[in-house]
Amino acid sequence: MPFIKIDDHEIEVDAGRRVLDIATELGIKIPHYCYHQALSSPANCRMCLVEQVGAPKLMPSCATRVFPAPPNRKTTIDGKEYDAVFYTASPVVKEAQESIMEFLLINHPLDCPWCDQAGECRLQDYSYEYGKGHSRYKEEKRTFPKKKLGPNVLLYTNRCIMCTRCIRFCEEITGTDELMVSERGGKAQIDIYSEDKPLDNPLATCVTDICPVGALVSQDFLYKPRVWNYTRKESVCGMCASNCNISVDTKQNLIYRIKPRENQQVNSFWMCDNGRLGYNRWQNDVDRLETPMVRRNGHLEPVSWEEAYDAIKNGLKSFRNTEIAGIASPYSTNEENYLFQKLMANAFKSDQISYATGATWEAWEAKKSPFKISEFKSPNYFGAKDVIGNRHKGEIIEKISKIQVKALYWVGGNLDQRLTDGERDALQKLQFLVVQDVWLSPITEYANVVLPATNYYEKEGTFTNASHILQWVHPVVNLMDDMKPEWLIFIELAKRLGGSLGYTDIKNVTRDMLANTPAYKHIKPADIGSQGIQTRR
């Protein structure tokens, strides 16, 4: 193992590691633009230059790897021998950093006051930390018009520093190769190869995350409030069963932006555009259910929670327990499905419970990285299977068709809910139907009682993804006034029906759900952590 020194730190490291990575782990900050952990390192920005003792010139730390030096090439400092010695903030390094910053800014429009990257821009940060504070460049700056590279991404070429991260992302991660450098020298610019092949791959907007300056911006985030005005919360995406890790920027209980959060087991550094932009549908397009409703004279009318609970209690009391069934949801958390199962067992004395599959879409895999978009559009299809057991809703629908089941409690959550003809026929035969859903869906058409459900931006608990990794889900927005968390609905309803579930908070539900689910019984809540836990050993 090479024994090296970086500034005042002495360390033995694995051979072949990059100086920039080692320094970062030691807490030494080396400024850099073109290097990204997930991409190749062309060493073209020169911002990460460091001084290596004995080397004839400064070295790019992103492309300099350490190896054991032969005995005659060791570096001796104060009588101690090293395989290599680096200085990251010596006078010659600082002078180089100032020059690089001056060079990168010669054509920059200095339009920070209206640039969407302001506040999280490396050009701004490094100008302040490593720049000269003035420029000797008096010539006219080159200018280019802004350009739409694809449906979700805009390019402001004037701000580009030609680090080529965006090109390498399309080559090395998605394998879709939409971007290139066109022209040469001072005219060089990022572009798509042809108008027929726009930047529209499923992960396209990730280029705006890795662009270190404000050159590539998300169309969705254009001219929104400044980044320092948001509250940032962490959760996982619920738009499919991949459960990518996300950071959500909110202001006044509205979502303004979703960005991927690193989790090497789940989504690496990336997320798809559907997951990133899907909040718009919930926030702008869906007529959400906000209050409980009871059918009176053929119409669903808003009622209080107490009236809705009483309507369920009275509606179900005439049925034998073998005539009552429940359909759990792949859009619910593991905790909600666990409580729903307990509600069915304790309050309704019914073990007839199954789960719906939810919507599906076309799965997608990046050509050159392990990133996958799951075919299941529901976030917790795999968790529902683990918690409820492998019982599909078809069995229950068949029993309803045969009039063996006469009362049903269906937990929905699917914005793309469709019913088959067989399901419609079956629902018409029911004598009593309770539906818990996020909107007035095709199922609620047949409901006697409707309870408002939450979406994955509002839930608290856990999801299990397509790779069987169980992760925390945190609410990123508050519930609307009359709504309740669904875990609380099940607890309150059980109490009203005389079958208390014995919980007052969600933490104890997670603990018991893990302990009583065969696939999770080896897991404790503290094991889950910020990166989740693999449930299959």
Q: Are 489 and 503 in contact (CB under 8 A)?
A: no
Least CB distance from residue 345 to ligand SF4, whole Å?
A: 31
Q: Which helix (H) or strand (E) holds 249?
A: strand 245-251
Closest CB to ligand FES among 164 and 235?
Answer: 164
Indicate the residue type of 354.
S
DSSP string spanning 364-408? EE-SSSS-EE-SB-STTHHHHHHHH-S-BHHHHHHHHHTTS--EE
Q: Which does 213 bind (CB under 5 to 8 A by kind): ligand SF4, ligand FES, none?
A: ligand SF4
> Interface with ligand SF4 includes 239 (CB under 6 A)?
yes
Least CB distance from residue 189 to ligand SF4, whole Å?
A: 9
Q: Mark residues 59-98: x for contact with ligand FES by CB under 6 A, - for none.
A: -x-x------------------------------------
Nearest residue to 237 via CA among 186, 277, 203: 277
Closest CB to ligand SF4 among 89 and 227?
Answer: 227
User: Residue by residue, what is the 3-state secondary structure of 117-160?
Assistant: CCCCCHHHHHHHHHCCCCCCCCCCCCCCCCEEEECCEEECHHHC
Look at the chain and count its residues.
Answer: 537
Find the residue with minimal CB distance to ligand SF4: 275
Determine the Cα–Cα distance for residues 214 and 227; give it in Å rounded to an integer. Answer: 13
Q: Mark residues 362-401: x for contact with ligand SF4 by CB under 6 A, - for none.
A: -----------x----------------------------
Determine the Cα–Cα distance for residues 6 and 82; give it in Å rounded to an integer. Answer: 11
Determine the Cα–Cα distance for residues 219 and 155; give it in Å rounded to an integer. Answer: 10
Determine the Cα–Cα distance for residues 396 and 260; give it in Å rounded to an integer. Answer: 39
Q: Mark residues 257-286: x for contact with ligand SF4 by CB under 6 A, - for none.
A: ----------x---xx-xx-----------
> Interface with ligand SF4 includes 160 (CB under 6 A)?
yes
Least CB distance from residue 64 to ligand FES, whole Å?
A: 9
Closest CB to ligand SF4 among 400 and 476?
Answer: 476
Least CB distance from residue 76 to ligand SF4, whole Å?
A: 40
Q: Which helix (H) or strand (E) holds 192?
A: strand 189-192
Q: Tell me, what DSSP letter sits at residue 49?
A: E
Determine the Cα–Cα distance for residues 84 and 63; give it in Å rounded to an integer. Answer: 15
Residue with tokens 């397009």: 285
Least CB distance from residue 236 to ligand SF4, whole Å?
A: 7
One of 49, 173, 215, 408 touching ligand SF4 (CB under 6 A): 215
Please give the structure tokens belonging to residue 479: 């519930």
Closest CB to ligand SF4 among 245 and 448?
Answer: 245
| Region of 97-105, 145-153, 163-171, 389-397 interacting with ligand SF4 (CB under 6 A) | 163-171
Q: Which does 411 bind (CB under 5 to 8 A by kind): ligand FES, ligand SF4, none?
A: none
- CB atoms closer than 10 angstroms to residue 209: 18
Residue with tokens 């208390």: 500
Q: Which does 397 bind (CB under 5 to 8 A by kind): ligand SF4, ligand FES, none?
A: none
Least CB distance from residue 94 to ligand FES, whole Å?
A: 16
Q: Are 13 and 4 in contact (CB under 8 A)?
A: yes
Q: Which does 60 bind (CB under 5 to 8 A by kind): ligand FES, ligand SF4, none?
A: ligand FES
One of 5, 22, 35, 216 touching ligand FES (CB under 6 A): 35
One of 4, 19, 216, 344 touching ligand SF4 (CB under 6 A): 216
Q: Tell me, what DSSP letter sits at residue 164?
A: -
Determine the Cα–Cα distance for residues 466 and 324; give it in Å rounded to an integer. Answer: 31
Closest CB to ligand FES among 95 and 365?
Answer: 95
Determine the Cα–Cα distance for residues 354 and 435; give it in Å rounded to an integer. Answer: 15
Q: Are 216 and 166 in contact (CB under 8 A)?
A: yes
Compute φ and ψ for 281, nearest 5 degrees.
-65, -45
> Interface with ligand SF4 includes 237 (CB under 6 A)?
yes
Alpha-carbon torsion angle 35, 37, 38, 42, nearest 10: 30
One of 4, 6, 22, 32 touching ligand FES (CB under 6 A): 32
> Interface with ligand SF4 includes 243 (CB under 6 A)?
yes
Q: Are 325 and 350 in contact (CB under 8 A)?
A: yes
Residue 79: exposure state from Cβ atoms within 10 A (0-12, 13-18, ≥19): exposed
One of 163, 308, 327, 396 touching ligand SF4 (CB under 6 A): 163
Q: Which does 190 bind (CB under 5 to 8 A by kind): ligand SF4, ligand FES, none?
A: ligand SF4
Closest CB to ligand SF4 among 72 and 143?
Answer: 143
Least CB distance from residue 63 to ligand SF4, whole Å?
A: 17
> Interface with ligand FES includes 34 (CB under 6 A)?
yes
| Region of 33-41, 127-135, 255-263, 370-378 interacting with ligand FES (CB under 6 A) | 33-41
Residue with tokens 């094991």: 527
- 74-133: contacts with ligand SF4 (CB under 6 A): none
Q: Which does 211 bind (CB under 5 to 8 A by kind): ligand FES, ligand SF4, none?
A: ligand SF4
Determine the Cα–Cα distance for residues 266 and 533; give it in Å rounded to an integer. Answer: 10
Closest CB to ligand SF4 among 49 and 211?
Answer: 211
The residues binding ligand SF4 (CB under 6 A) are: 160-166, 190, 211, 213, 215-216, 237, 239-240, 242-244, 267, 271-272, 274-275, 373
The residues binding ligand FES (CB under 6 A) are: 32-35, 43, 45-48, 60, 62
